[in-house]
């Protein structure tokens, strides 16, 4: 599986070279449970809670069609989704301050993507994650806990993002954490 991550590194190296934002991270604390929400996919029309993704690594990114760095980020995350597969990774791309009028265009653009493009017209999901600026990305472990919080993108953040994704896949699955040690023969 490690060769997949080197492919991801190549994908992420194509991201914008905009400087890293110096703003303080907002949102849930790393190590805390990710706030649950019901996600409505604008392409498929399906609605599912974030918690239904337990057992997978989740990349939760807040983006908008009017945000140039976001428009470069989302196709790269979509490629990561294709490389790693939906059984291991789920990408939720939550529309941030996007108008409902943009939804029709967004639906056409995203129809070929494997990621989940999520509507948040009323800002409920963004509010739960204290989103004030984009791009803003969280990596959520297979146990539902926030493993990383990335605000903004640039050359200096790409390696950190890839490292955080690798770390997420190195964490034991919830099933592996609950396995008790084998019984010893007491003779």
Interval 177-187: pLDDT, tens: 555 455 555 44
31-35, 134-138, 149-153: least confidently modelled range: 149-153
Residue 22's pLDDT is: 40
Tokens of 133: 């600026």
In the predicted model, what is the mean pLDDT of residues 108-134?
Answer: 88
Rounded to a whole number of angstroms, the distance between the first and last alpha carbons of the chain is 42
Q: Torsion-angle region of residue 27: left (phi > 0), alpha (psi -120 to 50) or beta?
A: left
Res. 119: pLDDT tops 90 = no
**Whole-number percent of the chain with pLDDT over 70:** 72
Residues in the chain, how many?
187
Q: What is the pLDDT of residue 35?
A: 98
Which position has the token pair 């990305």? 137
Name which of 122, 166, 133 is nearest 148 in CA terms.
166
Measured CA to CA, the distance from residue 154 to residue 18 in angstroms comes to 5
Q: What is the pLDDT, as a whole number, of residue 7? A: 45
2-172 maps to CATH 3.40.30.10? yes
The dihedral through the CA atoms of 129, 130, 132, 137 has a sign that is negative
For residue 68, give the 3-state DSSP assignment. Answer: helix
Of residues 138 and 22, more confidence is placed in 138
> How far apart are the C-alpha atoms of 1 and 62, rounded to whole Å?
27
Q: How confident is the model at residue 156 (pLDDT cuts 50, 70, 90)?
A: low
Beta-bridged to residue 89, according to DSSP, are 57
Apex 113 CA angle, 100 and 31, nearest 5? 85
Supply 158's token pair.
Answer: 């790409």
Instruction: Specify the pLDDT at position 12.
Output: 45
> Rounded to 5, what percent of the chain is helix, strand, coil?
35, 20, 45
pTM score, whole prediction: 0.79
Q: What is the DSSP letter of 50?
A: G
Pairwise pLDDT comparison (92 vs 44), residue with the higher score: 92
> What's the confidence (pLDDT) of residue 5?
45
Mean pLDDT of the chain: 79
C-alpha 13, offset from chain centre: 17
Tally the C-alpha atoms within 13 A of residue 98's C-alpha that lie toward its C-beta.
Answer: 27
The model's pLDDT over 23-79, given as tens digits with 9 standing for 90+, comes to 466 899 999 999 999 988 888 889 999 999 999 999 999 998 888 888 888 888 888
Which pLDDT does position 19 carry in this prediction? Answer: 37
């Amino acid at each position: 599986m490690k060769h997949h991550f080197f492919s991801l590194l190549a994908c992420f190296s194509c991201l914008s070279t905009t400087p890293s934002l110096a703003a303080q991270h907002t949102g849930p604390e790393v190590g805390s449970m990710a706030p649950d929400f019901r996600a409505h996919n604008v392409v498929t029309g399906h609605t599912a809670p974030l918690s239904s993704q337990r057992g997978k690594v989740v990349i939760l990114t807040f983006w908008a069609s009017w945000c140039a760095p976001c428009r470069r980020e989302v196709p790269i995350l979509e490629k990561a989704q294709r490389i790693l597969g939906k059984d291991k990774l789920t990408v939720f791309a939550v529309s941030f301050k996007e108008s409902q009028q943009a939804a029709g265009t967004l639906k056409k653009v995203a129809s070929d993507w494997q990621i989940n493009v999520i509507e948040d017209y009323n800002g409920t999901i963004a509010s739960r994650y204290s989103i004030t600026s984009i791009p803003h990305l969280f990596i959520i472990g297979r146990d539902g806990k926030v493993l990383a919080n990335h605000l903004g993108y640039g050359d200096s953040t790409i390696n950190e993002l890839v490292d955080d994704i690798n770390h997420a896949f190195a964490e034991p699955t919830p099933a592996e954490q609950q396995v008790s040690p084998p019984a010893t023969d007491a003779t």
